[in-house]
Amino acid sequence: MPLTRFQEQVFAVLVDGRGRDSYLAGDAALHLGAGGERYSADLDFFHTTARAANDAFHRDATSLRHMGWTVVVDAQFPGFV
């Protein structure tokens, strides 16, 4: 399975906040199938606008914190967190 157990848990929390302006890309998306052998270190969500990205981050961070996890922001710019 190409996602780690922790990534599966995070993805399960974040998937409900995804909409038509949000999509999973990068290595995790390429290797999401059950037969994948390569693990990715992160989940890359992209959005159609900078505002959608920032709004999604705030929803995601709230959901993750609600689950008891700590969210640390290393860098934040319009459309990128």
How far apart are the C-alpha atoms of 29 and 54, rounded to whole Å? Answer: 21
Domain of residue 12 covers 5-66
What does pLDDT average to over the chain? 81
Indicate yes or no: pTM above 0.95. no
Please check whether residue 20 lies inside any domain of the structure. Answer: yes
Between residues 38 and 5, the one the model is more confident about? 5
Please check whether residue 10 lies inside any domain of the structure. Answer: yes
Please check the confidence at residue 64 and state whether its pLDDT lies above 90.
yes
Please check whether residue 23 lies inside any domain of the structure. Answer: yes
Dump pLDDT digits (tens) for 6-42: 888 988 898 887 878 887 776 655 555 556 666 666 7
Please check whether residue 74 lies inside any domain of the structure. Answer: no
Please check whether residue 75 lies inside any domain of the structure. Answer: no
Please check whether residue 73 lies inside any domain of the structure. Answer: no
How far apart are the C-alpha atoms of 50 and 30, rounded to whole Å? Answer: 23
How far apart are the C-alpha atoms of 67 and 12, rounded to whole Å? Answer: 11
Please check whether residue 55 lies inside any domain of the structure. Answer: yes
What is the domain count for the chain? 1
Please check whether residue 72 lies inside any domain of the structure. Answer: no
Q: What is the pLDDT of residue 63?
A: 94
Exposed, middle or buried by CB within 10 Å (0-12, 13-18, 19+), for 34? exposed
Indicate the SS3 state at residue 6.
helix
